[in-house]
Chain A
């Protein structure tokens, strides 16, 4: 039997530890290991059950199916079918890793029941992602040396905020990317400071960016966390390893484009360059604080669901950044606070494009920072300037203040969240979609020969109903934007049989001539729901020229 010198392992190791107290996050030796601490396991498990119940109940019917969910799930379906990355030309809109993961997650359910591969029913897999993310929030909170109750609070804030409940139910790439980011943070804050954990953090960070490219903004915060949690003697190896891992895996995306000959723009093919150029030059949605701008609307929609987590978290981040010098918690939470600072700055760009799901990547960090801020305040009230001889009345006073604060915040938070989450678990927002899907599946005689413009959310439903994927059932905007599709519509709108006018279609048709014409030359044959949320199935007028396909290229073509 052979071994290295055990004498040193025991005696010198403790001496080798960084003198942490100076820099915060003191209890590195305290059990931040989930495995070791039964109490952590139980607490985290119980809270997870609560969160999963709220998030999972009624998941298919609320919120309204979104176009983007349909896009990603449809592309995941294509991946499952082994037909490439998308049923239309993949044009480097996002890195494909996100829906490849969705494809993997939905693979077994879709084997058992292929028809279940629709947005509503497959939202259930997002529950798994949420669960993992929530657990990681807890682990990260513990690794950033928050007390157990604060870690639990972070998990609850993250999982139960009505804003989280709404957004995390949806099949968004951001939710998956958040999971990877949290994993990267957890590995970066690994208590064992293992080289390969840090390396793994780099890999996870790369996976996050390849899932949703906006995660690139969060990388510096991961680095900060890793720096703080690595040891002086091994830091250079750990950090370079992580950066190398992240860059190498990240490079696989351009490499992929290169191998396909689509790295740089050229005639007759899409390219990564063009895709990036599109994302970076997307028309801005205005300054977020400028009333009337698109960004302001997005902000309002977030605050409509919940004010506590976004605003409280932001305030918490500010508090932590300001108290950096005095507060141990502030330094321990440097990573999450930095993340929020960066994301807030990016959101404040006056000319940038701010999508509704942007806030998703901030949610766990808002929760962590809010919980950390709470812990900091609680610690300040209960322990600061406390000497052993403190009179009992003062001590009681401290507890009274804390109790009062807890009660006050409960009174403020609970009704709001109760209302928001009650809506989430009871409302059926998708009845019109289901009805429209059913109508198209049963009332149209020859679906295989019928061409329908739909928004992406309904696309898979119609594929299961027998319509031809891609050119039979068509993502409505492809009728104008994808040359491969317009080529098959020489007579423009006349080559379309139906338009399913959902709110999204009506909104975007303005800028899409073919869709617009089809809308104009069609009449509703069935309408589901009412008001702006209604879904109309519009049949396109046939003018008797259906047999002379290809003779006249009409105005809508490009």
Chain B
């Protein structure tokens, strides 16, 4: 009978996840409401755009130039570089010299990470709204105008724009990774906004400067500072608005290797666990909100468990002699998983349509075949995260561990056609290091 109980629990879990995942497509009206509304060209807010960069001299300049092309008239770009990172600093200073809207802030923390960098810059922000981007983001020129309009028309404290991984054709896992982002930003996040509990993404996120200062900025010791900020702000009753437009998403790329994806995922999971243990979410007013928070923050672990149990259940039903009724119940989670699978296939089709990308049959095939393996990867990351969290229980050494890892990778990362850098000797290592660096930066929970 235990198996029946477990199956039912898993079924409800999977059913809820599916329900939320499909939020945006519930009705045409909901789908329409997830988009940005067109800006009216009226009065505007000023923006301070934070751009933390670390060993990203290769891509930084391009990102800055692209941001400067924005149609919005009132914004500053604050590039945050480390005092131990001369190459990136050089690129940043070069941009600062060319355009008065660019400023460089040097972060002198001994242990470096993204929340600390951004906290360093927070006192220097002059705009009404602080926005966060990553150094390799491709930002749409119209985005700021739309965000501005969204702030003014909705009275929001926070606006989260869409982020989308785009290179689905690179590998089997990038395909799944892209789709995860698609379902998360296209759909699920809107539900969170509606329910009043939202783990924010790591970039394309905009917060009113006073609200952010009031909240003391980011948690410097949290591995998922973005998620944490969202949880704290929504617990404090701040209004969060999410908007997704395929034209206007910030485009990114998946981590360069399976290992870096695993590391990235481990960090998010551990971050989620930290946020869960910080218990800020307990201040949410509604019981439903708290349940949603609890569930969302636990998701990586539940996902890991279900990945193992669903096949086990089916095997039990087929090969052991259980009553037919019980056998049926053990199939329920598999049924939900199958429905999810089908919706993912449709999602992939929609993704292709939205971005004008050609999705071939082989991609659908990869999506299906890769599913179980991706599940293994997620389970691995979940286990790894728990293990690390347990080990580093009282001190926050882990954060610095990631930082140390980055620094160690630093000296090799001299590749790329960035201004002021020569081609390094070890191109492969460089790419790898850049990928790792990127892996530790894309702070988007999915």
Chain A interface (Cβ < 8 Å from any Cβ of B): 1-9, 11-13, 16-17, 192-196, 231, 233-234, 236-238, 240-241, 244-245, 248, 252, 255-256, 259-260
Contact = CB atoms under 8 A, between A and B. Distances in A.
8 contacts: A5-B153, A6-B154, A8-B36, A9-B29, A12-B37, A236-B346, A241-B342, A255-B328
B154 A7 contact: yes
Contact of A244 (B193, B195, B342): B342
User: Dominant SS at the B interface?
Assistant: helix
A237 B22 contact: yes
A236 B237 CA distance: 36
Given A4-B242, A233-B28, A248 B335 contact: yes
A16 B28 contact: yes
Given A4-B33, A7-B153, A231-B28, A237 B346 contact: yes
B343 A5 contact: no
B25 A195 contact: yes
A9 B32 contact: yes
Contacts of B282: none
B103 interface: no
A248 B341 CA distance: 13
A234 B234 CA distance: 30
A7 to B, nearest CB: 4
Nearest to B241: A5
B150 A5 contact: yes
A-B CB proximity, top 6 nearest: A231-B28, A2-B240, A9-B33, A7-B153, A16-B32, A8-B37
A414 to B, nearest CB: 44
Nearest to A252: B328
Interface residues of B, number: 48
A236 B317 contact: no
Interface string B305-331: 000000000000110000010011001
Given A2-B239, A11-B37, A233 B31 contact: yes
B83 interface: no
Given A9-B29, A16-B32, A236-B349, A3 B324 contact: no
B28 A240 contact: no
Given A236-B346, A240-B342, A3 B239 contact: yes
Contact of B28 (A4, A5, A234): A234
A256 B328 contact: yes
B31 A5 contact: no
B37 A255 contact: no
A18 B29 CA distance: 11
B26 A194 contact: yes
B210 interface: no
Interface string B170-201: 00000000000000000000100111111000
Contacts of A1: 196, 237, 239
Contacts of A7: 37, 150, 153-154
B188 to A, nearest CB: 12
Contacts of A9: 29, 32-33
B36 A195 contact: no
A246 to B, nearest CB: 11
Contacts of B345: 240
Contacts of B254: none
Given A3-B241, A240-B343, A234 B193 contact: no
A254 to B, nearest CB: 12
Contacts of B317: 259
A236 B347 CA distance: 9
Nearest to B190: A4
B99 to A, nearest CB: 32
Contacts of A2: 158, 193-198, 234, 238-241
